[in-house]
Amino acid sequence: MKSLRTFLFLSCGCLLLWGCATIMHGTSQQVGLSSSPSGARVSINTKPIGVTPIFANLSRGDNHIIKIDLEGYLPFEMTVTRKVSGWVWGNIVFGGLIGLVVDAATGGLYNLSPEQIYAEMKKNDSGFVIEDKTIMIATVLNTDPNWNKLGTLTKE
* Tens-place pLDDT, residues 80-128: 998 877 666 666 666 566 666 666 666 667 788 999 999 999 887 655 5
Name the residue with higher pLDDT: 74 or 23.
Answer: 74
Q: What is the mean pLDDT of residues 1-26?
A: 53
Domain contains 152: no
Cα distance from N-terminal residue to C-terminal residue, the chain: 98
Which pLDDT value is given to residue 111? 81
Domain contains 143: no
Residue 66: how many other CB atoms lie within 10 Å: 21
Give CA–CA dist 153/156, Å, rounded.
9
Return the beta strands (E) in 14-147 as ranges. Answer: 28-36, 41-44, 47-51, 54-59, 64-69, 76-84, 110-113, 116-120, 128-131, 134-137
Domain contains 57: yes
pTM for the structure as a whole: 0.60
Radius of gyration for the chain, computed over Cα atoms and rounded to the nearest angstrom: 25
Domain contains 148: no
Give CA–CA dist 92/101, Å, rounded.
11
All residues at 6 or more sequence positions from 11 whose CB lies less than 8 Å from its CB, including other chains = none
Residue 99: how many other CB atoms lie within 10 Å: 27
Q: What is the mean pLDDT of residues 40-53?
A: 96
- Number of domains, the chain: 1
Name the residue with higher pLDDT: 61 or 81.
Answer: 81
> What is the domain extent for residue 122?
12-137
Name the residue with higher pLDDT: 149 or 67.
Answer: 67
Q: What is the mean pLDDT of residues 120-144?
A: 69
Domain contains 2: no
